[in-house]
Amino acid sequence: MNFKESLGLKNKFLIVHSGNMGVKQGLEVILQAAQLSNKDRSLHYLLVGDGAVREVLENKARKMELRNLQFLPLLPDRQFKELLTATDVSLITQQRCVADIVFPSKVITLMASGRTIVASVSKTSEVARVLNDARAGLVVPPEDPTRIMSAVSALRDDASLRHEMARNAREFAKRTWDRDQILSKMESQLYALIASGAVKDSGRGRIWKLSRLRQKDPTSITPDQRREAISSQPEGR
């Protein structure tokens, strides 16, 4: 039995917000979007996690009689991965007043897992910039439930676009945040520093050794060798 079936949601299009339920997330907008969608029986919203406003949200949801929305607690790792696999659209929401430089770490998790995202955030925010650059989701204005509902419905109705955005998300995450990619960039920067004379101590020996290995056979460098070179300290310290 898969995750959707375990919740009795086998044929539902699953829209999920997972993570902290705090004030700055402005999660009331998801309740409002669910209310606007209450006649569309194909859509189902999940709020997964915990936080300062969870109890308030649950009380509001009960008063609104939202049958297309439910809450789940924090999930263990295995179940969380099953949730990601079952998710059709992931939601990211922020209040209008949240600073544009705020970038929730869960964006990386969602993109790395190949989720299509609807982000209810400022169009000048870092989240919006990344999603637009990656073509990995739809960005709608914050605190606007109608636009969330419209974006979710559009992705539900266009499987081709949804799958394309999911692929873009995964590829962007791998290209931008993959550990070996990051280490390789750091390595290149260290080479440039050495060449400029900025590195003057004996600790550069390992980096030069790595450089010679790379020149001889770039595929021969293992991640462990790279990490050792980058993290090594000069002898005598």
Tell me how far apart the alpha carbons of residues 64 and 66 are, in angstroms, rounded to a whole number: 6
- What is the three-class DSSP state of 19? coil
- What is the three-class DSSP state of 146? helix
Token look-up 């309740």 returns 31
- What is the three-class DSSP state of 230? helix
Q: How confident is the model at residue 177, as a pLDDT?
A: 76
Q: How confident is the model at residue 175, as a pLDDT?
A: 87
CB distance 130 to 110 below 8 Å? no
Q: What is the pLDDT of residues 143-162, one digit of tens each?
A: 999 999 999 999 999 999 99
**What rounded mean pLDDT belongs to the chain?**
85
More reliable by pLDDT, 216 or 178:
178
More reliable by pLDDT, 102 or 182:
102
Tell me how far apart the alpha carbons of residues 114 and 120 are, in angstroms, rounded to a whole number: 19
CB distance 39 to 155 below 8 Å? no
Query: Is a pLDDT exceeding 50 seen at residue 104?
Result: yes
Mean pLDDT of 126-151: 97
Give DSSP secondary structure letters for 159-193. HHHHHHHHHHHHHHHHHHH-HHHHHHHHHHHHHHH
> If pLDDT is split at 50, 70 and 90, which confidence band does 190 have?
low
Q: How confident is the model at residue 200, as a pLDDT?
A: 55
Query: Is a pLDDT exceeding 60 seen at residue 59?
Result: yes
Tell me how far apart the alpha carbons of residues 105 and 37 are, in angstroms, rounded to a whole number: 29
In the sheet with 69-72, reading across from the earlier edge strand, the strands are 69-72, 43-48, 13-18, 89-93, 117-120, 137-140
Mean pLDDT of 2-23: 95
Q: How confident is the model at residue 114, as a pLDDT?
A: 96
